[in-house]
Amino acid sequence: MELPSNSKARLFRSRPLTRINTSGKVSEILKEKVLMPKLRHIAITAPNLEEAAAFYEKTFHMTRAMESDIAILLTDGVMSLAILKFKTDQQAGDERGKDFHGLHHIGFVDDDLEGMTKTIETNGGSYHMRLPDSPEGATEVKFRDPNGVVFDIVDTGYASRAWGLKT
């Protein structure tokens, strides 16, 4: 099917993606050839962990992957949903504090943390914080986009162990 030249659909054609590699060089790669970072994690804060988890379990049939005193992680096997209830402002990790409820951050999986860091910074994002390494050596590195939205980058091992995802 031929699209008219003024069609908005043409905006969705493949176009080169810019990626900063570890040597600092910019490379143009067609979308079909690039292993893009995958959005695989959403974290929300809620006033009651169990009530919030029960809603997503009953409504969307998500299963529990992990629990702690401040988090219940649910998964559908592809996406991870972390439901958080911080006990202190310091634990919350930013100016929103422990009493904030809503979208806290999103997470992407990419095994090239150094390359992604350069790409994020080149495109106007900034480093936010790094969570301590887990006993397995995995970590979350958090950034802010140009609008201040918090997101993290993790490797596939972390996504599998901490988020309960099939990678």
CATH code, domain carrying 53: 3.10.180.10
Number of domains in the chain: 1
Supply the DSSP symbol for 87: S
pLDDT in tens, 89-128: 999 988 999 999 999 999 999 999 899 999 999 999 999 9
Q: Is residue 108 part of a domain?
A: yes
Q: Is residue 61 part of a domain?
A: yes
Q: Is residue 132 part of a domain?
A: yes
Q: Is residue 72 part of a domain?
A: yes
More confident residue, 3 or 158: 158
Contacts of 95 (CB under 8 A, 6+ apart): none
Say if pTM beats, i.e. exceeds, 0.85. Answer: no
pLDDT in tens, 13-24: 334 455 555 555
Q: Count of CB atoms within 10 A of residue 151's CB?
A: 20
Whole-number Cα distances in Å, 141 to 24, 48, 104, 130: 20, 26, 15, 4
Q: Kind of pairing, strands 126-130 and 141-144?
A: antiparallel
Q: Is residue 117 part of a domain?
A: yes
Please list the helix, strand and coil fractions of the chain in percent, rounded to the nearest 5, in that order.
25, 35, 40
CA–centroid distance for 152 within its chain: 5
Q: Is residue 81 part of a domain?
A: yes
Q: Is residue 91 part of a domain?
A: yes
Residue 117: which domain range? 36-163
SS3 127: strand
Q: How confident is the model at residue 163 (pLDDT cuts 50, 70, 90)?
A: confident
Q: Is residue 158 part of a domain?
A: yes
